[in-house]
Every structure is written in C-alpha cells, then in structure tokens.
Amino acid sequence: MVIEEQPGDQVPARPAPDRDPRRISRRHSGHVPGLTRTASPRRTYRKDPNVSKSVLYMSMSVDGFIAGPNAAPGNGLGDKGHRLHEWFLPDADAEHRRDLDRLAGANREVMDEAMATGAVVAGRRTFELAGGWGGDHHDGVPIFVLTRRRAPEPQWPGVTYVNDVTAAMNAAKDAAGDKDVLVHGARTARLALDAGVLDELQIHLVPVLLGQGEPLFADMPPDHIELELLRAADGAGVTHLRYRVRTEG
C-alpha cells in the first residue's frame, strides 16, 4: 500500500519535574536533500496535548552519532554501533521483546513506553537495515515507511509506504488512535522537525564517543528549534532525555 501526497491538500508522557523546565536550543546550517521548503507555519497539526504524539526514540553517543560507520544489511548498527544499544540489547539482538523482562528502573520505563506506541513511522533505509522487523515492530501495530523511491511489492499487510513526511505522520496518528507514534530514523527525524510534525524527542544518551558514523542532526535546515526538557532519568549505562519541540507563538 502506498500513500501519495495530494496537491493542496502511549501512554501519556510522564509529568515534567516540579522545577521550571530547562530549555536547550540548537542552530544548524545546511538543507535536507530532496526537501522543498514552504512558507507555511512550522506547527499546523495535532497541537492538542491530549491527542497522540509523534516521538522520536533514538540511542545516541555523546558526540551525536546514532550508528557506527559502514552500516549495511547484516551490519545495521554500523561498526561498533552496537555499543549504543547495550543498555537494552546487550548482544544487539533484534528480538527486543525477549530482553525487556530483565530491564529495570528508567530503562524499563522508557522501553515500556516505546512498546506501548500504536504505530511506527520509519525511514526506508532504517526499515530495510532492520529487515523490516519481519513486518511486525511490536504487537502488530501498523508501520509507515517514508520513501522517495518506488514502493516494492507488498510483503507484509501492516506496512504502508508513504512519500511525504506529513502524510506519514498524519496517517500514523490516525492509526494509533490515542496512543503515541514511535519514530525511527535520522533523516526521517530531520524531515519531520523541518516540517513541524515531530512532537517530542526521546534521546537515550550513551556515555561514549564514537568519533565517526551516522550523526542524528546532520544537514539540518538553518532554523532555531527550541526544545523543552520534560524528563531526565539515569538508567544503567544510559541517560534518558525527553524533550518537547516548542511551537512557535
């Protein structure tokens, strides 16, 4: 199934700490390849905090990498990139359900939140490196794959290919109902941020410097994007940072 862009046309997050939320900002230069900028307002969809949110879940090194170099099928996390996932997959095993029972504290909390999401949006490269998760990321929830290329022949009934990030997020939210949408993939995250359709970022910050690999925030558009810290929680081998993308106005 393919959703074409038409012309013209969880669980609730834990409450923020009692202290005034800290804010961070980041300024980048460059342009996301293949993206046409428009003059529309940054945030025009699903502003109601009571409806589902699109949330990027991403493990990242302190120097900003989400995978090691040479990521390819059979080496989806790149060279030594498994280090970023040791906090929940000590053997970099894709059978993540099997390992959830041994998690505790903050690590278990954030993984339970991720597995409670009602739909997944992923970039095609991320999807293919993961072997499409066998057509089932978790609990049979629908998967929307963002792609710029022709969609392949359908292989799994729960997978839909979409050629526009806003269309992908809206379709995923409709499918998720009152649950959040889990977002995967660096380029998908950058496109969603630029289009104003990424609501929150859940960064799993791993205390390591990879030195090289795939960065999360490369080639961002030259916008000043404010983030509001909702939660900071230390887990075994990782610090979980959850941010809300601040809206304009």
How many whole angstroms separate alpha carbon 181 and alpha carbon 11? 10
Note the maximum CA span of the chain: 51
Computed on alpha carbons and rounded to an integer, the radius of gyration of the chain in Å comes to 17
Residues 6+ apart with CB under 8 A from 9: none
Q: What is the mean pLDDT of residues 73-77?
A: 84
- Catalogue the E-assigned strands of 124-198: 143-146, 159-162, 181-184
Is the separation of the CB atoms in 73 and 128 below 8 Å?
A: yes
Q: Which residue has the higher pLDDT, 12 or 182?
A: 182
Which pLDDT band holds residue 88 (cuts at 50, 70, 90)? confident
Residues 6+ apart with CB under 8 A from 18: none
Is the separation of the CB atoms in 193 and 67 below 8 Å?
A: no
Kindly report the pTM of this predicted structure: 0.76
User: In Å, what is the CA distance from 215 to each residue of 64, 162, 220?
Assistant: 5, 24, 11
User: In Å, what is the CA distance from 56 to each residue of 22, 60, 108, 195, 201?
Assistant: 19, 12, 17, 14, 5
- Catalogue the E-assigned strands of 115-199: 119-123, 143-146, 159-162, 181-184
How many whole angstroms separate alpha carbon 47 and alpha carbon 194? 16
Residue 91's pLDDT is what?
56
User: In Å, what is the CA distance from 144 to each residue of 27, 162, 248?
Assistant: 29, 7, 27
* pLDDT tens digits, 187-213: 999 999 999 999 999 999 999 999 999
* pLDDT tens digits, 151-192: 888 889 999 999 999 999 999 999 999 999 999 999 999 999
Is the separation of the CB atoms in 53 and 202 below 8 Å?
A: no
Which pLDDT band holds residue 38 (cuts at 50, 70, 90)? very low
pLDDT, mean over the chain: 80
Alpha carbon 37 to chain centroid, angstroms: 21
Indicate whether 4 pLDDT > 70: no
Crossing angle of helices 165-176 and 186-195, in 10° steps, is 90
Indicate whether 5 pLDDT > 50: no
Indicate whether 145 pLDDT > 50: yes
Domains of the chain in sequence order: 21-33+51-70+77-245 (3.40.430.10)
Indicate whether 230 pLDDT > 70: yes
Q: What is the mean pLDDT of residues 59-64?
A: 96
Residue 75's pLDDT is what?
85
Q: What is the mean pLDDT of residues 9-27?
A: 37
